[in-house]
Amino acid sequence: MPKTIFFDLDGTLTDSGPGIMNCAARMLDHFKFPYDQALLRTFIGPPLRVRLGELGFTPEQAAEATKIFRSQYEVTGKFENSPYPGMIDLLKTLKAQGHRLFVATSKPETTAQEVLDHFHMTEYFEEICGADLERGRDTKDQVITYLKEKVGTLENVVMVGDTDYDVLGAKAHGIPTIGVTWGYGNADSMTSCGAIAIANTMAKLSGLLRE
């Protein structure tokens, strides 16, 4: 039976790590905040506001940090990125099989659209849904709330993502998640959060989506 599949973007469809980490480093340098590569990786996936709050930034500092981050990301960072090998072929196959494909990302929706347009991936998705603060969408949970209205039913829906944020956001709506390991999360952690399966290759993900 065809499935409705919600795909995360960063770390799932495309490897956006280099651009995000470069911008995060510039932002943290501004605040003289110490970091290493492991900490920079944690900016991939969650809303920037959430991650800064976890690091102890005040709302005022987070607002300033966000401006610094976006000043670089909107110009160059968003294109320091590439689709994961085999992903476009998988999307072509899934669409040809009749599956309904959507993007559910906490990246700003306009940026997500630009990235997917850039890599000629937009055509595979019915809708690209991301953060939109004016419409009250920021977290993965809120993005999925919006997508539920578009899809109309949660029967036979599955989330595909690479972090705990994907698993927990989908779980809040009773949606199962398949975790992928080529991104920036942790397989054991995703399993602990409730992921129903873990895919470490594109072939494995394809097989799980056929089950």
**Residues marked as catalytic:** 8
* Cross-strand partners of 180: 199
* 164: phi then psi, degrees, rounded to nearest 5: -60, -35
Give the residue carrying structure tokens 């966000």: 66
Which 8-state DSSP code applies to residue 84? Answer: P
Residue 21 CA to residue 39 CA, distance in Å, equals: 9
Residues 6 or more apart from 30 whose CB is under 8 A from it? 65, 68
Radius of gyration of the chain (CA): 16
User: How many Å apart are CA 116 and CA 188, to the nearest integer?
Assistant: 29
